[in-house]
Structure 1
Amino acid sequence: MTVDYIIIGQGICGTWLGYYLLKENKSLIVFDNNHLQSASNAAGGLINPVTGRRVVTTWMAETLLPFVWKEYNALGETLNIQGIHQKNILVFPSATDLQQAFLERIKQQNSFIQSPSVARDTLHATFNFPFDVFEINPCYVIKMQPLLQSFRAYLTGKNILKEAVFNEDELIINKDCIEYKGIKAGKIIYADGMHASQSRYWKNLPFVQNKGQALMMHIEGLDTSYIYKFGHLTLIALEENRWWVGSSNELEFATTAPTDDFKTRTIASLKSILKKDFSIIDHWSALRPATVERRPFVGFHPQYKNIGILNGMGSKGCSLAPWFAKQLVQNMLYDEPLDPLADVSRFAKVLAR
């Protein structure tokens, strides 16, 4: 079998890369083992233009928000699902300095921050909160598992998905192509999250293992019109009465598995915040493919021109993956430049070691 591309991984990066290549009528094979607690599957799917204790606008937010709205809706039409939902965030600051940061941004006329569109009395009926409430608008939610599984079915229907673990030891690099288990391809692209950090080709990149945990919870009667944010704790509706509650941001950890400590702390926080009954459905944990610079890895190996990467999106994968997947496809097919802040060629020296 001969194809134009092999893609390793069908998380959010592999999904968008495959989608854009197929739109360009390119042939491909995707290798993925359908690990439901991968970073993409376990993610809450939130696209939030504001971040951090200083309440700053996220990198490229003004450009990315209209782009992702258009592109996720187009992907949703292809898959016959709703690809993206607008759900603004109601933020409940937990300290005076956080409240002051939001007030300062409103004074500066930050276009994403406003007074809440819900009455405080209405919110007090559901939540305990000591300070003001602010609304971040617009914010979007991607229902990750339905989206990824729908695209998986789409690939399966085209007979271009291999449900298997990729074994790099069996990869053969030729001058003009690569070969893997009887498949010849012009290029191979690593879109497999933290697994790429173990690759002989990409292991020198400054990946950062960032562990995230979240609880899937049943919360009876909580209004699903909004996302609710209390410090690091974010509540995102997956469906009626079923909520994603997370997540941690752990750079040091003894185990990659879910921990009782996270569960205990999250339950205690919810009991202090929420005036609703709740129960735990599931507990997820995954490693995000983050980077030291908090910028993605996009492009081709300086020594192996047919080995590429689309990776390192961290906690911003839902917004960054479609943008850089499209940019990578435009670069491969039409020689359009990659963003120098994301172009993996910035690590040419370390990759040459």
Structure 2
Amino acid sequence: MKVDFLLIGQGLAGTILSYRLLEAGYKVHLIDDAHPSSSSKVAAGLYNPVTGRKLGKTWLADILFDEIEPFYKEMEGFLKQKILHPIGIYRPFISFEEQNEWLAKSADEQYTGFIEKVITGPQFPGVRDDLGGLLLKKSGYVDIKSLLKAYRSWVKKQGMLTEVRFLPGHLKRNPEGTWQYGQLEAKNLVFTNGVQAKDSSFFNWLPFTPVKGEILTVRQEFHSREIVNRGVFRIDMGNGLGKVGATYDNQNVDLIPTDSGKREILEKLGQLIPAKVIEVTDQQVGIRPATIDRKPMLGKHPSEENVYIFGGLGAKGVSLAPYFSKNMVEFLVRGEELQKEVNINRFFKYI
């Protein structure tokens, strides 16, 4: 089988980039073994324009957030699968200073597109919000698990997916310059397999800083139309269930659920939403493909022809992937420049 692009990994990065390449008219094939460490398979899929302890506008929000909902709506139509959930995010204030700061910002043009309302007193029953909070728009979550499952089914039916573990040692360079992997012959090779890209000699020098994250599903007598987010997020799943997370552990990067992770999430949830947790129905673990500077890793190998990477999307993959997948396709097929903050040439000093 001859293809234009062979993508290694069908997580969020591989799914969205391959879709973009197919849209552009190229022949694509994916190799993926459904590795359990993929953060895409357990991630909550939030897209949130105001993040962090200091409630700052997320990096490139004005560019990224115009792409998010139109793109995932397009994917819904293509896959005939509900995946996009546009929902407001409510972030309670923790001080009068923070409240006053956001009252001022609500009149600032650079923030007005993301602020639904600044609330100055308790308004959300069941939430600790004595000082009110910030209600955001252009926010919500993407059901990544459903997206990946539906897309996997589609590419499998088209004969575009090989379900095996990728073994770098089995990759060969043909005399004419193409890449051979078993019966597959590809003009271009793109690593879209997150931190596993480090298992290849091509990209073992890239400074990934993988982060373990744990997420709980809890049964609780609480319901909210909004995502509540402060210290932890809580997404209402209906029927008394909520998805809550997440932990951040860059020391013990394994796939083992921990009691300490569960306790941490439940303690922070209790500080935010005091309603009793009746039951923890699920606890999931994923490894985020974070990077040393918290920016994605896109670009071409410094010496090997036709070898590329599209990864390092980290915890904000849902927000980053629509825009940067388009940027990557323009780079791959038209030679247009990548945004310098994400180009892997910033790490050539590590080789």
Q: CA deviation at 1:71?
A: 1.0
Mapped contact 1:90–1:116 kept (Cα < 8 A): no
1:176 match: 177
Partners of 2:66 and 2:253 in 1: CA distance:
40
Mapped contact 1:90–1:135 kept (Cα < 8 A): yes
Partners of 2:348 and 2:264 in 1: CA distance:
43
Match runs of 1:176-325 below 5 Å? 176-220=177-221, 222-223=223-224, 225-231=225-231, 233-253=232-252, 255-272=254-271, 273-275=273-275, 277-325=277-325
Partners of 2:229 and 2:278 in 1: CA distance:
17
- Paired amino acid for 1:263: K
Q: CA deviation at 1:349?
A: 3.8
Partners of 1:31 and 1:148 in 2: CA distance:
14
1:164-186 superposed Cα distances (whole Å, 9 cap, x missing partner): 11111111134621111121100
Q: CA deviation at 1:228?
A: 0.5
Partners of 1:163 and 1:66 in 2: CA distance:
34
1:49-69 superposed Cα distances (whole Å, 9 cap, x missing partner): 112222221111111112111
Q: CA deviation at 1:14?
A: 0.3
Give the match's secondary structure for 1:120.
coil
Give the match's secondary structure for 1:310.
strand
Q: CA deviation at 1:239?
A: 4.8
Give the match's secondary structure for 1:206.
coil
Partners of 2:212 and 2:98 in 1: CA distance:
25
Query: 1:277–1:209: structure 2 CA closer, same or farther, 3 Å change rule?
Result: closer
Partners of 2:302 and 2:221 in 1: CA distance:
54
1:97-132 superposed Cα distances (whole Å, 9 cap, x missing partner): 6555544533656322353579835x2x32234432
Partners of 2:36 and 2:76 in 1: CA distance:
20
> For structure 1, which segment, 301-310 or 331-340, has the greater mean C-alpha deviation from structure 2 after superposition?
331-340
Q: CA deviation at 1:333?
A: 1.5
1:120 match: 122
The unaligned stretches of length 5 or more in structure 1 are: none
Mapped contact 1:291–1:314 kept (Cα < 8 A): yes
Mapped contact 2:289–2:313 kept (Cα < 8 A): yes
| Aligned residue pairs, count | 347
- Paired amino acid for 2:65: L
> For structure 1, which segment, 128-137 or 3-12, has the greater mean C-alpha deviation from structure 2 after superposition?
128-137
1:191-212 superposed Cα distances (whole Å, 9 cap, x missing partner): 1011112221111111111121
2:167 match: 167
Query: 1:37–1:98: structure 2 CA closer, same or farther, 3 Å change rule?
Result: farther
2:26 match: 26
- Paired amino acid for 1:198: D
2:7 match: 7
Mapped contact 2:47–2:316 kept (Cα < 8 A): yes
Partners of 1:26 and 1:258 in 2: CA distance:
40
1:147 match: 147
Query: 1:153–1:119: structure 2 CA closer, same or farther, 3 Å change rule?
Result: farther
Partners of 2:287 and 2:315 in 1: CA distance:
10
Partners of 2:40 and 2:3 in 1: CA distance:
26
- Paired amino acid for 1:244: K
Give the match's secondary structure for 2:267.
helix
1:293-350 superposed Cα distances (whole Å, 9 cap, x missing partner): 1111111101112111000111110011121212111222122221111111222343
Mapped contact 2:212–2:253 kept (Cα < 8 A): no
Partners of 1:285 and 1:56 in 2: CA distance:
27
Mapped contact 1:21–1:329 kept (Cα < 8 A): yes
Mapped contact 1:94–1:131 kept (Cα < 8 A): yes
- Paired amino acid for 1:54: K
Mapped contact 1:171–1:178 kept (Cα < 8 A): yes
Give the match's secondary structure for 1:179.
strand
- Paired amino acid for 1:243: G
1:76 match: 76
Mapped contact 1:13–1:322 kept (Cα < 8 A): no
Partners of 2:336 and 2:253 in 1: CA distance:
43
TM-score, normalised by the number of residues in structure 2: 0.91
Give the match's secondary structure for 2:209.
strand
Give the match's secondary structure for 1:324.
helix
Match runs of 1:32-47 below 5 Å? 32-35=32-35, 38-47=38-47
TM-score, normalised by the number of residues in structure 1: 0.90
Partners of 1:97 and 1:32 in 2: CA distance:
49
Q: CA deviation at 1:24?
A: 2.0
Moved over 6 A (4+): none
Query: 1:161–1:219: structure 2 CA closer, same or farther, 3 Å change rule?
Result: farther
> Percentage identity across aligned positions?
28
Partners of 1:217 and 1:35 in 2: CA distance:
25
